[in-house]
A and B are shown apart, each in its own frame.
Chain A
Amino acid sequence: MIRIAFNLLITLIFSLQISACSPVSDVKNTKAEPIKISTELSAIYQRSCKNCHEVEATGAPLLGDKERWHTILEKGMDIALDRAMSGYQGMPAFGQCFECSPEQIKALIIYMSNPSK
């Protein structure tokens, strides 16, 4: 009985949260070619991006999550790049990549938004 009460409570809480926060975004079907990256960029991705951008619970936009990336990039690459370079919410500046150039960060954003399989 108590477990049921707990589950109901949590369900109620989550329902309230979800109804209050769910983003409604229109997804654009991108026909752009999936992006491939160089070995160097791939190494940077493995070192500095993967640990967050492939783990849903981090809240980071995930590799290949076109809907989420579309929402981000709709505001402009400049904003996305600035946030990646300066740090934004849980993301540290440059994803802790000290050797990355802005161009490389930009390339990684584009890659994550539409990676080749």
Chain B
Amino acid sequence: MNRRHLIKSLVAGTVASAFPLPFNCLASNASSNTKYPWKNWSGNQKCFPSQRIAPASVGELQTLIKTSHSKIRAVGAGHSFSELVPTDETLLSIRRLSGLKDVNTENNTATIYAGSTLREIGPLLNEQNQALVNMPDIDQQTLSGCICTSTHGTGRTLGSLSHYVEALDIVTASGDLLHCSQHENIELFKAAQVSLGALGIITSITMKNTNPFKLKRQSQWLPFEDLLPQADALSRANRNFEFYYFPFTGMALTDSLNITTEPNSLNEELDGNSGIMDLKSARDYLSWSNKLRELILSSYMKTIALEESIDHSYAIYATERNVRFNEMEYHLPAELGLKALQEVRLAVESKFPEVFFPIECRFIKADDIWLSPFYQRDTISIAVHRYFSEDHEPLYKAIEPILQKYQGRPHWGKINTFSNKKFEQAYPKWKEFQEVRQHYDPNGKFLNPYLIRTFGLS
């Protein structure tokens, strides 16, 4: 078994992609009037769109948008747990717009088609002597899905993927293809860096990259009470640092990544996917005694030695997440995150013995993007997972007020019940975003019921 896959695969974050693109053409698989369903990765979001389309070129996309009378939502890889994608009108996949468009070796930037997945991008950039500065721990999302939802990895000095966007091209409701950056269409750019697919369909994104590098991953089990006082220091001492707390074990798994020039290596024993099912089995068979459950699991975890692996950065960041789950993640001010985490732990362990997925804790640098949950504050994110076929609502109903009490902003792609009023209060540039959205999409072509509700529109 491979342990990184074991515990890491389980958790983590996700978010992938949900962002809107356009509509009714040759690019559809329904030649008849048959409606086919859509669902996301975990299966908690579903819809029956009247059309499913996948334009093969930017020109085709423009024509579709220009001629469509239907509302259009775009979907990337379907890894969002929130209601960003579902629509009963037109659902548009951007997956056919993929690959590298342009590379600038002087500035270390690359322009990438929006439907490329992170998994595809790593090797493509490597061939061009570039690499993304940071990545999340799954890589199946499309780049545009990541940008639209402010998808992030971990690293106290590292921003979300949106933070590294230098420019982007977007097809707006009129069908026009606009270029925006810090120097051109500046307001549009500020809004589009995290736009939930509500401004139009992003077709390509220019990313500020770095030269290729290798990462060494070190994973270590620690008693949670021992880890907690060190967590802040560890987040500063490592390029990427995160940890998982395993409810009903008293144990945490730390995960540290640092740049290295050492040769590739792999030293991992446990598989995250089978590991999570082991935890499920332990819950199923030992739920009559949480003390025994903790004794057995923690004793086992303490025997697992430090594990290390080294590879290209893009091969190290991501793990396979094949055990499906639903997820709530909130982004809290860095100085409050660990306190909130302790409260979350107490709530879970006092009321929810059925929980076996770990709670993930990550660190993200502040940015100045209007709808970024990291807007002007260094952040600790706390993610709570629930096995996909088990009811997540009671758990999330108990945990969400704690995360909100500590000024948390929800991840755009994950389950939350934030209201329009709360978003308005949590985002200082909310009004500016709405003005830009109204300007470029006055008739709400790119809205679905969730966005209408979230934006406070009637």
CB distance from A17 to the nearest CB of B (A): 8
Given contacts A98-B28, A98-B52, contact A57 B39 (CB under 8 A): no
Q: Is B95 a contact partner of A96 (Cβ separation < 8 A)?
A: yes
Q: Which partner residue on chain B sits nearest A90 by CB separation?
A: B324
CB distance from B274 to the nearest CB of A (A): 8
- Chain A residues 70 to 107 lying within 8 A of chain B, measured CB to CB, are 85-87, 90, 92-94, 96-102
Q: Does B104 contact A (CB under 8 A)?
A: no
Q: Does B36 contact A (CB under 8 A)?
A: yes
One of B122-130, B256-264, B291-299 contacting the partner = B291-299
Q: Does A58 contact B (CB under 8 A)?
A: yes
Could you say which of B5, B29, B39, B40 contacts A98, with CB atoms under 8 Å apart? B29
A96–B52 Cα gap in the complex (Å)? 10
Q: Does B140 contact A (CB under 8 A)?
A: yes
A57–B272 Cα gap in the complex (Å)? 10
Q: Is B322 a contact partner of A58 (Cβ separation < 8 A)?
A: yes
CB distance from A14 to the nearest CB of B (A): 8
- Chain B residues 272 to 298 lying within 8 A of chain A, measured CB to CB, are 273-274, 278, 281-282, 284-285, 295-297
Q: Does A13 contact B (CB under 8 A)?
A: yes
Q: Which partner residue on chain A sits nearest B39 by CB separation?
A: A92
A7–B278 Cα gap in the complex (Å)? 10
A85–B39 Cα gap in the complex (Å)? 12
Q: Is A2 a contact partner of B299 (Cβ separation < 8 A)?
A: yes
Q: Which partner residue on chain B sits nearest A97 by CB separation?
A: B29
Q: Is A96 a contact partner of B77 (Cβ separation < 8 A)?
A: yes
Q: Is A99 a contact partner of B36 (Cβ separation < 8 A)?
A: no
- Chain A residues 38 to 62 lying within 8 A of chain B, measured CB to CB, are 47-48, 51, 55, 57-59
CB distance from A100 to the nearest CB of B (A): 5
A17–B36 Cα gap in the complex (Å)? 35
**Chain A residues near B322 (CB, 8 Å)?**
55, 57-59
Q: Is B299 a contact partner of A93 (Cβ separation < 8 A)?
A: no
Q: Which partner residue on chain B sits nearest A48 by CB separation?
A: B95
Q: Which partner residue on chain B sits nearest A52 by CB separation?
A: B322
**Chain A residues near B93 (CB, 8 Å)?**
96-99
- Chain B residues 33 to 55 lying within 8 A of chain A, measured CB to CB, are 36-41, 43, 52-54
A5–B303 Cα gap in the complex (Å)? 13
Q: Is A99 a contact partner of B300 (Cβ separation < 8 A)?
A: no
Given contacts A6-B299, A57-B273, A99-B54, contact A87 B29 (CB under 8 A): no
A10–B278 Cα gap in the complex (Å)? 7
Q: Which partner residue on chain A sits nearest B76 by CB separation?
A: A96
**Chain A residues near B36 (CB, 8 Å)?**
85-86, 93-94
Q: Does B86 contact A (CB under 8 A)?
A: no
Q: Does A3 contact B (CB under 8 A)?
A: yes
Q: Is A96 a contact partner of B78 (Cβ separation < 8 A)?
A: yes
A1-33 vs B, Cβ < 8 Å mask (1 yes, 0 no)? 011011101100110000000000000000000
**Chain A residues near B91 (CB, 8 Å)?**
98
**Chain A residues near B324 (CB, 8 Å)?**
90
Q: Which partner residue on chain B sits nearest A96 by CB separation?
A: B78
Q: Is B96 a contact partner of A99 (Cβ separation < 8 A)?
A: yes
**Chain A residues near B92 (CB, 8 Å)?**
98
Q: Is B300 a contact partner of A57 (Cβ separation < 8 A)?
A: no
A46–B22 Cα gap in the complex (Å)? 23
Q: Is A2 a contact partner of B320 (Cβ separation < 8 A)?
A: no
Q: Is A10 a contact partner of B140 (Cβ separation < 8 A)?
A: no
A47–B333 Cα gap in the complex (Å)? 38
Q: Is B297 a contact partner of A6 (Cβ separation < 8 A)?
A: yes
A92–B5 Cα gap in the complex (Å)? 23
**Chain B residues near A51 (CB, 8 Å)?**
119, 140
Q: Does B107 contact A (CB under 8 A)?
A: no
Q: Is B295 a contact partner of A93 (Cβ separation < 8 A)?
A: no
**Chain B residues near A99 (CB, 8 Å)?**
27-29, 53-54, 56, 93, 96
**Chain A residues near B29 (CB, 8 Å)?**
94, 97-102
**Chain A residues near B458 (CB, 8 Å)?**
none
**Chain B residues near A7 (CB, 8 Å)?**
300
A73–B113 Cα gap in the complex (Å)? 37
CB distance from A92 to the nearest CB of B (A): 5
Could you say which of B27, B56, B273, B281 contacts A13, with CB atoms under 8 Å apart? B281
Q: Is A97 a contact partner of B39 (Cβ separation < 8 A)?
A: no
Q: Is B300 a contact partner of A92 (Cβ separation < 8 A)?
A: no
Listed A/B pairs (24) with beta-carbon separation below 8 Å:
A2-B296, A5-B296, A7-B300, A9-B285, A9-B296, A10-B282, A14-B281, A55-B322, A87-B37, A92-B38, A92-B41, A92-B78, A93-B39, A94-B29, A94-B52, A96-B75, A96-B77, A98-B91, A98-B93, A99-B56, A99-B93, A99-B96, A101-B29, A101-B31
Q: Which residues of A contact B (CB under 8 A)?
A: 2-3, 5-7, 9-10, 13-14, 47-48, 51, 55, 57-59, 85-87, 90, 92-94, 96-102
Please name 4 further chain A to chain B contacts, defined as beta carbons within 8 Å, in addition to the given A85-B36, A96-B93, A98-B53, sorted by A numbering.
A6-B296, A9-B282, A92-B40, A93-B37
A-B CB proximity, top 10 nearest: A2-B299, A98-B54, A57-B322, A98-B93, A99-B54, A57-B273, A6-B300, A98-B52, A13-B281, A93-B36
